[in-house]
Amino acid sequence: MASGQDSVKLTPQQAKTLAEYDKAAKVWLETLKKPGIKMDSTGIYYDEEAKKIMSDQKYRDSIYRQPYTMRDVALTLTAGDLRLAFYQMINLYPTNQAKILQYITAYDQAIEADKIVNSAFYTYALLDPRITKIVDGKPDIYRPDIMEELFHYANEISAYVLTERAKKKKR
């Protein structure tokens, strides 16, 4: 090749497998960005994660282990659950601002971290037992003050990420 790079030759099967991985990665990334709970004029919509949290108490308990720690974040990231790890980081933000901003900004180099922060909030905060009770299979918010506090943290984190991204574009 003229650029000095070696070319890679793939078999048709390898090319097909690579294309399948690429497609799966794109689906995974889009899923990360979508909130687990959406509302519009026609109703409320829940993704599979939200449905599982509402219907499986053991699963809900495993998601919302309090208090969160940076070790929890590391374990959740190791398990590959970015959206939940981002929710844990939103909760840890008041006491670990610099570290949380550093982590999330680092992810922004590869993915749109601000969108995942928002998705994490709209998936997990609306189902957090500190905020809602599940009544007849639906969330009933009884602590809007905690939800507003987490919303503020999520917005602050997203604003920081967007500011840092804009600074990098200018460089």
* pLDDT digit string, tens, across residues 103-120: 999 999 989 999 999 999
Domain of residue 53: give its range: 12-170
**Whole-angstrom distance, CA of residue 122 vs CA of residue 44:** 12
Domain membership of residue 90 (yes or no) is: yes
pTM: 0.84
**Whole-angstrom distance, CA of residue 133 vs CA of residue 128:** 8
Domain membership of residue 6 (yes or no) is: no
**Total domain count, the chain:** 1
Digit-coded pLDDT (tens) for 53-85: 999 999 999 999 889 999 999 999 999 999 999
CA atoms within 13 A on the CB side of 130: 15
Domain membership of residue 5 (yes or no) is: no
CA atoms within 13 A on the CB side of 50: 24
**Is the distance from CB of 104 to CB of 89 less than 8 angstroms?**
yes
